[in-house]
């Protein structure tokens, strides 16, 4: 087998080489992390950009087997923010110089939802003098819907493929959730002109290291602009909970996620990579650790505190007892531990996107 230092010196990685990097431990893993940080600082600099996350609604028409807010989970208290609550959160992000927001929710394809989002995008643009960047994470939609939201002023879209392995995808979703449709959505988003983001969960039941290597190769081939990857965390109200005894240990899922981030940074030098909230659910400094190995985006939660408990995609979600203004100082202080600067008031668009254009 090729030694890790030799792999790290290669201009691109084969699947076997990625598997070797994902299996690295001890000093070899440290070498990977150091190289990833070097690449990050050289290619995108030491700034971290904030995206204020607004969890708009936990009403969802889908039934993904891993997700706590799936429609069949009857224990969830369903909510949808009022216009005023969304605009107040957006104003908070603007006034605190977050630069951008992310509007995320369960999936809803009604025309009333489409129109409401379209109107809110325009209002958010207006209240921030066109200055707040808007990322959407509202699931699979028709091209016409994506186009309307783009025309209204959204310019980035996050749609995780969850896994690039079709067979695994089929085991994680009901039969009417189609891998090809999701892939088609990502293609449409790119065609329309969005900065397209995707990602996967790490440590899913039945997932292998080989499959994770394929995920990284998928992102490279698809030439995405942004990636958000996080550890899979089981939720008692989901069908996959029955496999909880067969999962990788939670710390292993955490470490595997850091390695995925680091390898991706080396493979796709100038994209935006998020340090995801699920990392923080496992380790209070999880996001900061991801920033140290290649991530450059953080999504502070700015959902009004009273709803946060109800947006439980997985268990132990952090910061559920806080209000938005409590996150501010806490992030500032902790990010300084990583020697990062915060790109206050900047969009921090993916450099990859600008160069792709
Ligand atoms: N409904 C939209 C957006 C909200 S879900 C969508 O599905 O695209 C956002 C992300 O949460 C999903 O893409 C999935 O990767 C992640 N997620 C859901 N359940 C999870 C779990 N149990 N552990 C970790 N991440 C999870
Ligand atoms: Fe709904 Fe998204 Fe959860 Fe699937 S992952 S059930 S689409 S919120």
Reported pTM? 0.96
Residue nearest to atom 12 of ligand 1 (CA): 160
pLDDT for the residue numbered 262:
98
Instruction: Select the more confidently predicted residue: 355 or 62.
Output: 62
For ligand 2, say whether the CB of 106 is within 6 Å of any of its atoms.
yes
Ligand showing the shortest atom-to-Cα distance for residue 182: 1
Q: Which of 117, 29, 89, 53 is nearest to 317 (CA)?
A: 53
Going by pLDDT thresholds of 50, 70 and 90, the confidence category of residue 205 is very high
Residue of the nearest CA to atom 4 in ligand 2? 64
CATH for the stretch 4-356: 3.20.20.70
For 223-277, write each residue's pLDDT tens digit.
999 999 999 999 999 999 999 999 999 999 999 999 999 999 999 999 999 999 9
Helix, strand or coil for residue 49? strand
Decide if pLDDT at 88 tops 80: yes
Res 181 pLDDT > 80: yes
CA distance 67 to 90: 26
Q: Is the CB of 197 under 6 A from ligand 1?
A: no
What are the CA-CA distances from residue 16 to residues 7, 190, 212, 233 (Å)?
10, 29, 11, 27
Query: Which tens digits make up the pLDDT trace of 119-160?
Result: 999 999 999 999 999 999 999 999 999 999 999 999 999 999
Index of the ligand 2 atom closest to the CA of residue 106? 8
Q: Are 317 and 270 in contact (CB under 8 A)?
A: no
268-327 tens-digit pLDDT: 999 999 999 999 999 989 999 999 999 999 999 999 999 998 999 998 888 777 777 766
User: Is residue 139 lining ligand 2, measured as CB closer than 6 Å?
Assistant: yes
Among 19-33, 262-276, 312-326, 331-345, the least confident range = 331-345
Q: Measured in angstroms, how far is the CA atom of residue 266 from the centroid of ligand 1?
A: 25
Asked if residue 98 has its Cβ within 6 Å of ligand 1, the reply is: no
Cα of 53 to ligand 2 centre, how many Å?
A: 16
Q: How far is the CA of 311 from the centre of ligand 1 (A)?
A: 11
Token readout for 317 is: 């979600």
What is the average pLDDT score of the chain? 95
């Amino acid at each position: 087998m090729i030694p890790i230092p030799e792999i790290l010196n290669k201009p691109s990685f084969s699947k076997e080489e990625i598997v070797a990097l994902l299996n690295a431990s001890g000093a070899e893993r440290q070498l990977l992390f150091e190289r990833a940080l070097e690449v990050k600082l050289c290619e995108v600099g030491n700034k971290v950009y904030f995206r204020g996350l607004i969890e708009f609604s936990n009403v969802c028409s889908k039934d993904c087997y891993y997700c706590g807010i799936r429609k069949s989970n009857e224990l969830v208290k369903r909510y949808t923010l009022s216009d005023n609550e969304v605009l107040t959160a957006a104003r908070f992000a603007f006034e605190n110089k977050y630069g951008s927001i992310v509007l995320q929710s369960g999936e809803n394809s009604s025309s009333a939802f489409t129109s409401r989002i379209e109107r809110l995008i325009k209002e958010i643009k207006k209240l921030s003098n066109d200055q707040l960047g808007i990322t959407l994470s509202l699931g699979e939609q028709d091209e016409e819907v994506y186009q309307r939201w783009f025309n209204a002023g959204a310019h980035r879209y996050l749609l995780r493929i969850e896994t690039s392995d079709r067979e695994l995808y089929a085991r994680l979703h009901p039969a009417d959730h189609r891998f090809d449709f999701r892939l088609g959505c990502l293609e449409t988003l790119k065609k329309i002109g969005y900065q397209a983001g995707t990602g996967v969960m790490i440590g899913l039941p039945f997932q292998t290291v080989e499959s994770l290597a394929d995920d990284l190769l998928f992102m490279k081939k698809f030439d995405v602009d942004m990636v958000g990857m996080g550890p899979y965390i089981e939720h008692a109200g989901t069908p996959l909970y029955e496999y909880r005894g067969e999962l990788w240990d939670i710390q292993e899922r955490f470490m595997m996620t850091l390695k995925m981030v680091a390898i991706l940074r080396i493979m796709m030098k100038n994209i935006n990579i998020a340090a995801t909230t699920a990392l923080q659910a496992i380790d209070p400094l999880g996001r900061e650790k991801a920033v140290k190995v290649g991530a450059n985006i953080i999504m502070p939660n700015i959902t009004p505190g009273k709803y946060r408990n109800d947006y439980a995609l997985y268990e132990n979600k952090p910061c559920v007892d806080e209000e938005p203004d409590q996150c501010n100082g806490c992030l500032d202080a902790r990010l300084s531990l990583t020697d990062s600067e915060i790109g206050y008031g900047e969009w921090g668009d993916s450099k990859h996107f600008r160069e792709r254009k």
